[in-house]
Amino acid sequence: MGRYKLIALDMDGTLLNSEHEVSEENRDWMFKALDAGVTVMLSTGRGVQNVYPYTDKLGLTSPIVAVNGGEVYKAPRELIRRHELDVEAIRAMHEMAVRHDTWFWAYAVEGVFNKETWTDDLNGYRWLKFGYFTDNDEAREQILGWLREQNRYEITNSHPHNLEINPSGITKASGIAEVCRLLGIGMSEVVAMGDSLNDMSMIREAGLGVAMGNAQDALKEAADLVTVTNDEHAVARIIREHVLAG
């Protein structure tokens, strides 16, 4: 086996193309890496309820980092770590969303709730992540300022117009570090690929941090290299040229 022993892949804008599908070329090279003994895993802002359809279809049984590090799985449906937001935090973030009339969503262990499906029974759920989306830059900046004042959250995004909130210190990198401990490897042996600010932590801490050609500029600046877009089989290219080469 070569230098890299784990490949951590963001989903939207990275592994998935514009049709939210995994191309055959990406899939083929993912399994070439797996056959070579390299762990290939998903590291996503999605909740696992929106990850399992892909792992099931791919037949992927490797670890998962979900909700930006909020949950870490040894394998699909085998949870090893969970980090929750308290109910009062969720209530306060919801109030800010209503005040600024933004779209919002929240991942709980029990499901996904948004502006159209919100519940007032917050105590009945285990909350993992809250998110805002708005094209109104002023509203988004005001919410961001308020969140930073709390000094208790990890704040990222998966799109320039959204904000994603986890407990402080909980990131994709913290989740991948947990997987590395499980596998007995170091972060220097990880290849991480992503396109948004919620990928920044793993891009910086991985041995090889790869920004997509369609990535946000800040991520491109932080990455070790910039590859092609998610519609050009970037995952296959990185595996072929940097993981299995030679």
**Which pair of tokens denotes residue 188?**
């220097």
Report the chain's C-alpha Rg in angstroms: 18
Active site residues: 10
Q: Give the whole-angstrom CA distance, residue 111 versus residue 122.
A: 12
Q: What does the H/E/C string look like for 145-164?
A: HHHHHHCCEEEECCCCCEEE
* CA proximity to 13, closest of 199, 242, 208: 199
**Which residue shows structure tokens 């919002």?**
104
Which H or E run includes 179? Answer: helix 172-183
